[in-house]
Structures are given as C-alpha cells and as structure tokens.
C-alpha cells in the first residue's frame, strides 16, 4: 500500500519543528529514523496531515557524560548507541534492537517517543529513572521515565512537543536479559537490572502496556547480600507483580514464568559483573 496524502516539512531548528507541530493541532508526526512511522503510514494505520522531518536539525545527535549521567541526543542512531562505551547497559540493549539496517536508521528519541512496550530502550529508561528533555513552543521541560509512558504506544508528550535528548544515569553494575524467538525480534520478555546509589533497580518489558518497575523486588534486595537465594525471591516477586495477557505470541502463564527466569538471569549477570567493567 501507499501512504495517504500528507504535507512534508524539513525543519532546520527545534523552534521551527515544534511550531509546525503546534500549528497542525495534533495532526502532525515527527520523522526521525522512520522505522516505525513509515511502515504505519504505508499500511495507512497512521495518517498524519503533516510529516515534520527533524534529521537536518543541528545539535540533536551525539553523546556527552557528566556527573555520572550520559546525555544522548534524540537523533543518535541505535548503531552508534550499540558501539559506544560510556554506557554499557545501553550498548547491550541497543544490540538487541532489530537488525543492522534498522539500527543504522532508528533513533533513541524515536524509540522512546514511540513507546512500544516490547522495545528495549523504554525498559532501560524505566530501570534507570532516565529523564527526557522535551521542547515545545513555550520552552523546555524534563519528564522522568516514570511519568512519560502512559500506555501501549502512548506517552504524556503534548502534540506540540518533541524529545531533544535523554539523560541516562550510568549504573555501577548492570544485567540485561531478553527472550525473543529470534535475535532482532521484539522481546517477549525483557529485563534490565541496574545498581545505582547502592540500590538495585529492575524493569520488565513485554508484559504489559508500559514497562513494569518491580518495586517489591527492589525492596527485597535493599540492604541485603546479593545472593542467588535473594535473587530467586526477587524474581518471584517480579513475576507475581505483573498481569500479562494471553496473545498470539505467548500465554500469560508463560510470560510470568519467563519473567521470573529472565529477572534471575539479569540479576546474576549484575552480581557477576565487576564494577566499572563495561561489557
């Protein structure tokens, strides 16, 4: 199929881009990597009246680290994310995204804004309490990951807002585990575990409309020795806290079982990883 008719704007500044989004009153979409938007438009599941291409806006790519936080520009490609060493957890997660062709075009900001509950980067953002830097016609604001994801493919971004960068804290140690039918497929269950400020954080993707933060499991691991027995209990608590649905890919019972198993794997990898060693 072919997309429905639409107008096209190649924005040259953030101000121009958000101004166009505001004028379109919710009928515009941002084109960054296009790995999600273009297929949806081709199937006419998405029919924006205006497509705002942000690829020529300077300053939206690249990475910088300061005070234990890596700032990732919204236009940073997944391939660049997978090759960097400043944030090893993000590099590991990016290697699980699609295939090379997709990673060469897909962007960090686009993945977060698309809010696919099975995607890797929203899970990592949730585990790390990442913060999105957002521009709109009135200025800029910061949205923590906990307040950003509202539902499947839904965020709290306004129709006149765009993500320009994301701040990801760098964990002292981390673990990542994903179950997919083939490498590059969306994860049936994805778990990110990260130790920040002496506390272990756990997030799970693919088991609900938004990434699930396993706060009960995190509390179980607080101020105790990180042993396999403690991880088994944390994995049980994580699995008991989710409410997945049966679908074409897996039953709810299977997802719960795999959530427990992959939570345990992610935690074991965190425990086995020496502090400060990338990947």
195 HSE (CA, 13 A, CB side) = 20
Q: pLDDT per residue over 92-109, tens digit each?
A: 999 999 888 889 899 999
Q: What is the DSSP letter of 185?
A: B
| Residues 165 and 177 grouped into a single domain | no
For 91, other C-beta atoms within 10 Å of its C-beta total 18
| Residues 178 and 99 grouped into a single domain | no
278 in any annotated domain: no
Residue 278 pLDDT:
46
* Res. 68: pLDDT tops 90: yes
For 40, other C-beta atoms within 10 Å of its C-beta total 17
Q: Where are the beta strands (DSSP E) in the chain?
A: 7-10, 28-31, 50-53, 63-66, 69-73, 131-136, 139-144, 149-151, 154-155, 162-169, 173-179, 189-196, 199-205, 212-213
- Residues 238 and 217: beta-carbon distance below 8 Å: yes
| Residues 205 and 221 grouped into a single domain | yes
Domain that holds residue 207: 173-272
In angstroms, the CA 201 to CA 223 distance is 13
Q: pLDDT per residue over 187-238, tens digit each?
A: 999 999 999 999 999 999 999 999 999 999 999 999 999 999 999 999 999 9
Residues 6+ apart with CB under 8 A from 141: 134
Q: pLDDT per residue over 236-250, tens digit each?
A: 999 999 999 999 889
Q: Which two tokens stand for residue 46?
A: 């998405």
| Residues 161 and 108 grouped into a single domain | yes
Q: What is the domain-level CATH number for residue 203?
A: 3.30.390.50
Residue 181 pLDDT:
87
133 in any annotated domain: yes
| Residues 74 and 165 grouped into a single domain | yes
The angle formed by the CA atoms of residues 7, 13 and 16, to the nearest 5 degrees, is: 50
Per the structure, the count of domains in the chain is 3
In angstroms, the CA 216 to CA 214 distance is 6
Q: What is the DSSP string of 82-111?
A: HH-SS-HHHHHHHHTSS-HHHHHH-BHHHH
Residue 275 pLDDT:
61
Last residue of one domain, picked from the residues 169, 197, 212 = 169
| Residues 228 and 252 grouped into a single domain | yes
- The dihedrals phi and psi of 212, each to the nearest 5 degrees, come to -100, 125
In angstroms, the CA 53 to CA 49 distance is 13
Give the closest residue to 178 by CA, choosing from 164, 198, 167, 192.
192
Q: What percent of the chain has pLDDT over 70?
A: 97
């Amino acid at each position: 199929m072919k997309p429905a008719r639409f107008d096209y704007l190649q924005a040259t500044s953030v101000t121009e881009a958000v101004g166009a989004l505001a004028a379109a009153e919710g009928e515009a979409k941002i084109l960054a990597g296009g790995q999600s938007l273009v297929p949806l438009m081709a199937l006419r599941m998405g029919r924006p009246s205006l497509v705002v291409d942000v690829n020529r806006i300077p300053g939206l790519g690249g990475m910088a680290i300061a005070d234990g936080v890596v700032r990732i520009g919204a236009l940073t490609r997944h391939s660049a994310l997978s090759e960097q060493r400043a944030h090893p957890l993000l590099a590991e997660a990016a290697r699980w995204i699609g295939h090379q062709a997709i990673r060469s075009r897909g962007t960090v900001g686009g993945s977060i804004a698309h809010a696919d509950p099975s995607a890797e980067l929203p899970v990592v953002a949730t585990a790390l309490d990442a913060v999105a830097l957002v521009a709109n016609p009135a200025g800029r604001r910061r949205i923590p990951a906990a307040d950003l994801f509202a539902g499947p493919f839904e965020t709290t971004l306004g129709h006149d807002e765009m993500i320009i960068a994301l701040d990801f804290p760098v964990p002292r140690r981390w673990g990542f585990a994903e179950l997919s039918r083939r490498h590059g497929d969306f994860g049936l269950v994805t778990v990110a575990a990260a130790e920040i400020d002496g506390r272990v954080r756990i997030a799970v993707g693919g088991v609900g409309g938004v990434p699930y933060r396993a706060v009960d499991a995190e509390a179980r691991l607080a101020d105790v020795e990180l042993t396999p027995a403690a991880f088994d209990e944390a994995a049980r608590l994580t699995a008991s806290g989710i409410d997945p649905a049966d679908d074409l890919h897996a039953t709810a019972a299977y997802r719960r079982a795999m959530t427990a198993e992959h939570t345990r794997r992610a935690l074991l990898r965190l425990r086995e990883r020496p502090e400060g060693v990338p990947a």
